[in-house]
Protein backbone atom coordinates (compact mmCIF):
# COMPACT_ATOMS: atom_id res chain seq x y z
CA UNK A 1 0.00 0.00 0.00
CA UNK A 2 2.85 2.38 0.79
CA UNK A 3 4.33 1.94 -2.68
CA UNK A 4 0.94 2.64 -4.25
CA UNK A 5 0.61 5.86 -2.27
CA UNK A 6 4.07 6.96 -3.43
CA UNK A 7 3.21 6.23 -7.06
CA UNK A 8 -0.06 8.14 -6.86
CA UNK A 9 1.76 11.31 -5.84
CA UNK A 10 2.22 11.91 -9.57
CA UNK A 11 -0.83 13.15 -11.52
CA UNK A 12 -2.42 10.99 -14.21
CA UNK A 13 -0.99 13.04 -17.08
CA UNK A 14 2.56 12.53 -15.75
CA UNK A 15 2.22 8.75 -16.05
CA UNK A 16 0.75 9.22 -19.53
CA UNK A 17 3.85 11.15 -20.60
CA UNK A 18 6.38 8.97 -18.78
CA UNK A 19 5.14 5.62 -20.11
CA UNK A 20 6.18 6.06 -23.79
CA UNK A 21 9.37 7.92 -22.81
CA UNK A 22 10.44 5.16 -20.42
CA UNK A 23 9.63 2.41 -22.92
CA UNK A 24 11.51 4.15 -25.75
CA UNK A 25 14.59 4.67 -23.59
CA UNK A 26 14.71 1.17 -22.15
CA UNK A 27 13.70 -0.78 -25.25
CA UNK A 28 15.46 1.13 -28.02
CA UNK A 29 17.85 3.89 -27.01
CA UNK A 30 19.84 2.70 -23.98
CA UNK A 31 20.52 -0.89 -25.17
CA UNK A 32 22.32 0.52 -28.25
CA UNK A 33 24.64 2.72 -26.21
CA UNK A 34 28.20 1.76 -25.27
CA UNK A 35 28.63 2.37 -21.56
CA UNK A 36 32.05 2.57 -19.98
CA UNK A 37 30.60 1.74 -16.58
CA UNK A 38 29.88 -1.97 -16.38
CA UNK A 39 27.44 -1.68 -13.51
CA UNK A 40 25.20 0.68 -15.46
CA UNK A 41 25.32 -1.58 -18.50
CA UNK A 42 24.28 -4.58 -16.43
CA UNK A 43 21.46 -2.54 -14.90
CA UNK A 44 20.10 -1.60 -18.32
CA UNK A 45 20.36 -5.22 -19.46
CA UNK A 46 18.45 -6.39 -16.39
CA UNK A 47 15.65 -3.83 -16.75
CA UNK A 48 15.22 -4.05 -20.54
CA UNK A 49 12.98 -7.18 -20.55
CA UNK A 50 10.54 -5.44 -18.20
CA UNK A 51 10.33 -2.16 -20.13
CA UNK A 52 7.05 -3.04 -21.82
CA UNK A 53 5.40 -4.28 -18.62
CA UNK A 54 6.53 -1.19 -16.68
CA UNK A 55 5.18 1.11 -19.39
CA UNK A 56 1.84 -0.73 -19.30
CA UNK A 57 1.69 -0.32 -15.52
CA UNK A 58 2.27 3.43 -15.94
CA UNK A 59 -0.54 3.61 -18.49
CA UNK A 60 -2.82 1.68 -16.14
CA UNK A 61 -2.01 4.11 -13.32
CA UNK A 62 -2.75 7.02 -15.65
CA UNK A 63 -6.18 5.58 -16.49
CA UNK A 64 -6.86 4.80 -12.82
CA UNK A 65 -6.01 8.32 -11.67
CA UNK A 66 -7.97 9.86 -14.54
CA UNK A 67 -11.07 7.92 -13.47
CA UNK A 68 -10.62 9.11 -9.87
CA UNK A 69 -10.13 12.69 -11.08
CA UNK A 70 -13.31 12.63 -13.17
CA UNK A 71 -15.28 10.91 -10.41
CA UNK A 72 -14.25 13.51 -7.84
CA UNK A 73 -15.24 16.25 -10.24
CA UNK A 74 -18.76 14.85 -10.52
CA UNK A 75 -19.14 14.31 -6.80
CA UNK A 76 -17.67 17.60 -5.60
CA UNK A 77 -18.97 18.50 -2.12
CA UNK A 78 -20.06 21.85 -3.49
CA UNK A 79 -22.30 20.21 -6.09
CA UNK A 80 -23.96 17.69 -3.78
CA UNK A 81 -24.31 19.79 -0.63
CA UNK A 82 -25.94 23.03 -1.65
CA UNK A 83 -29.11 22.61 0.37
CA UNK A 84 -29.09 23.77 3.97
CA UNK A 85 -30.27 20.45 5.34
CA UNK A 86 -27.27 18.72 3.75
CA UNK A 87 -24.85 21.29 5.18
CA UNK A 88 -26.22 20.65 8.65
CA UNK A 89 -25.80 16.89 8.29
CA UNK A 90 -22.12 16.84 7.34
CA UNK A 91 -19.35 16.58 9.92
CA UNK A 92 -17.48 19.62 11.23
CA UNK A 93 -14.39 18.60 9.25
CA UNK A 94 -16.36 18.27 6.03
CA UNK A 95 -17.86 21.68 6.77
CA UNK A 96 -14.38 23.24 6.98
CA UNK A 97 -13.31 21.55 3.74
CA UNK A 98 -16.50 22.75 2.06
CA UNK A 99 -15.85 26.35 3.10
CA UNK A 100 -12.23 26.13 1.94
CA UNK A 101 -13.26 24.75 -1.45
CA UNK A 102 -15.88 27.48 -1.90
CA UNK A 103 -13.30 30.23 -1.42
CA UNK A 104 -10.76 28.35 -3.49
CA UNK A 105 -13.19 28.56 -6.37
CA UNK A 106 -13.44 32.29 -5.77
CA UNK A 107 -9.75 32.61 -6.55
CA UNK A 108 -8.19 32.26 -3.10
CA UNK A 109 -5.46 29.88 -2.04
CA UNK A 110 -7.16 28.07 0.83
CA UNK A 111 -5.46 26.00 3.51
CA UNK A 112 -7.38 24.07 6.15
CA UNK A 113 -5.51 24.13 9.45
CA UNK A 114 -4.51 20.97 11.30
CA UNK A 115 -4.46 20.16 15.01
CA UNK A 116 -5.52 22.22 17.99
CA UNK A 117 -2.78 24.87 17.93
CA UNK A 118 -4.58 27.06 15.39
CA UNK A 119 -6.04 29.69 17.77
CA UNK A 120 -9.51 28.76 16.58
CA UNK A 121 -8.70 29.46 12.93
CA UNK A 122 -9.94 26.73 10.60
CA UNK A 123 -9.06 28.06 7.14
CA UNK A 124 -6.37 30.47 5.98
CA UNK A 125 -7.10 32.30 2.72
CA UNK A 126 -4.47 34.04 0.63
CA UNK A 127 -4.87 36.21 -2.43
CA UNK A 128 -1.74 38.07 -3.42
CA UNK A 129 -0.26 39.57 -0.26
CA UNK A 130 -3.61 39.61 1.55
CA UNK A 131 -4.25 37.06 4.31
CA UNK A 132 -7.77 36.31 5.53
CA UNK A 133 -8.45 34.14 8.57
CA UNK A 134 -11.62 32.06 8.64
CA UNK A 135 -13.29 30.49 11.64
CA UNK A 136 -16.00 27.88 11.09
CA UNK A 137 -18.72 26.87 13.53
CA UNK A 138 -20.79 23.92 12.44
CA UNK A 139 -23.54 24.44 14.97
CA UNK A 140 -26.84 22.86 14.06
CA UNK A 141 -29.07 24.60 16.58
CA UNK A 142 -27.24 27.28 18.61
CA UNK A 143 -26.73 30.84 17.44
CA UNK A 144 -23.19 32.20 17.36
CA UNK A 145 -22.81 34.87 20.02
CA UNK A 146 -20.49 37.83 20.23
CA UNK A 147 -17.76 36.05 22.23
CA UNK A 148 -16.32 33.83 19.44
CA UNK A 149 -16.57 36.73 16.98
CA UNK A 150 -14.62 38.93 19.40
CA UNK A 151 -12.03 36.17 19.79
CA UNK A 152 -11.62 36.02 16.01
CA UNK A 153 -10.81 39.73 15.96
CA UNK A 154 -8.17 39.15 18.64
CA UNK A 155 -6.48 36.42 16.59
CA UNK A 156 -6.56 38.59 13.46
CA UNK A 157 -4.84 41.39 15.37
CA UNK A 158 -2.26 39.05 16.93
CA UNK A 159 -1.39 37.41 13.62
CA UNK A 160 -1.51 40.71 11.72
CA UNK A 161 -3.90 39.33 9.15
CA UNK A 162 -5.78 41.65 6.83
CA UNK A 163 -9.34 40.34 7.12
CA UNK A 164 -11.50 37.90 9.04
CA UNK A 165 -14.50 35.78 8.08
CA UNK A 166 -16.75 33.86 10.45
CA UNK A 167 -18.80 31.07 8.88
CA UNK A 168 -21.58 29.12 10.56
CA UNK A 169 -24.22 26.68 9.39
CA UNK A 170 -26.68 28.45 11.69
CA UNK A 171 -27.23 32.12 12.52
CA UNK A 172 -25.80 34.94 14.66
CA UNK A 173 -27.10 36.91 17.61
CA UNK A 174 -27.73 40.63 17.22
CA UNK A 175 -24.72 41.59 19.41
CA UNK A 176 -22.46 39.40 17.25
CA UNK A 177 -23.71 41.08 14.07
CA UNK A 178 -23.26 44.56 15.51
CA UNK A 179 -19.74 43.77 16.73
CA UNK A 180 -18.74 42.39 13.33
CA UNK A 181 -20.09 45.45 11.54
CA UNK A 182 -18.20 47.77 13.88
CA UNK A 183 -14.91 45.91 13.33
CA UNK A 184 -15.09 45.16 9.59
CA UNK A 185 -15.53 41.41 10.03
CA UNK A 186 -17.50 39.31 7.55
CA UNK A 187 -20.21 37.04 8.94
CA UNK A 188 -21.55 34.23 6.79
CA UNK A 189 -24.58 32.34 8.10
CA UNK A 190 -26.21 29.19 6.73
CA UNK A 191 -28.21 31.02 4.07
CA UNK A 192 -25.21 33.11 3.07
CA UNK A 193 -23.10 29.99 2.69
CA UNK A 194 -25.77 28.38 0.51
CA UNK A 195 -25.75 31.47 -1.70
CA UNK A 196 -21.95 31.34 -1.98
CA UNK A 197 -21.99 27.65 -2.87
CA UNK A 198 -24.63 28.23 -5.54
CA UNK A 199 -22.50 30.95 -7.15
CA UNK A 200 -19.29 28.91 -7.32
CA UNK A 201 -20.84 25.53 -8.22
Boundaries of every domain in the chain: 2-74, 83-200
pLDDT value for 34: 61
Euclidean distance between the first and the last CA atom of the chain, given in angstroms as a whole number: 34
pLDDT of amino acid 4: 40
* 178 has a pLDDT exceeding 60: yes
Q: Indicate if the pLDDT at residue 155 is higher than 80.
A: yes
For residues 42-48, give the mean pLDDT: 62
What pLDDT score does 29 carry?
Answer: 61
Q: Is the pLDDT of residue 85 over 80?
A: no
| The predicted structure's pLDDT at residue 61 | 75
Provide the pLDDT for residue 114.
76
Return the pLDDT at 19: 74
Q: 130-137 and 163-168 as β-strands: parallel, antiparallel, unpaired?
A: parallel
- Sheet of 186-188, strands arranged across: 109-112, 123-127, 130-137, 163-168, 186-188
- For the cut 80, the answer to whether the pLDDT of residue 199 exceeds it is yes
Q: How far apart are CA 133 and CA 135, in angstroms?
A: 7
Q: Are 117 and 147 in contact (CB under 8 A)?
A: no
Judge whether 27 and 48 are in contact, CB under 8 Å.
yes
| Element of type H or E holding 154 | helix 146-159
Rg of the Cα trace of the chain? 25
Segment 92-113 shows an average pLDDT of 90
The two most distant CA atoms of the chain are separated, in Å, by: 80
- Provide the pLDDT for residue 88: 73
The pLDDT confidence band at residue 60, using thresholds 50, 70 and 90, is confident
Three-class SS of 101-137: HHHHCCCCEEEECCCCCCCCCCEEEEECCEEEEEEEE
pTM for the model stands at 0.59
More reliable by pLDDT, 36 or 176? 176
Distance CA 188, CA 140 (A): 14
Q: By mean pLDDT, which of 10-14, 106-110, 197-201 is the weakest?
A: 10-14
Which residue did the predictor score with more confidence, 190 or 81?
Answer: 190
Of the candidate CATH numbers 1.20.1050.10, 3.40.1350.10, 2.130.10.10, 3.40.50.300, the domain formed by 83-200 belongs to 3.40.1350.10
Alpha-carbon separation of residue 50 from 22, 55, 57, 113, 182 (angstroms): 11, 9, 11, 44, 68
The answer, yes or no, to whether residue 194 has pLDDT greater than 90, is no
Amino acid sequence: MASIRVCLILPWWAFLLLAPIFYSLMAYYLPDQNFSIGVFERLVTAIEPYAKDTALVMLALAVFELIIYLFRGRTSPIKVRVKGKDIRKISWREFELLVAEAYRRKGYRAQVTEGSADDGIDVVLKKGAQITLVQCKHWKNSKVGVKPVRELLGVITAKRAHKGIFVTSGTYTRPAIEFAQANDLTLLDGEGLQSLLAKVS
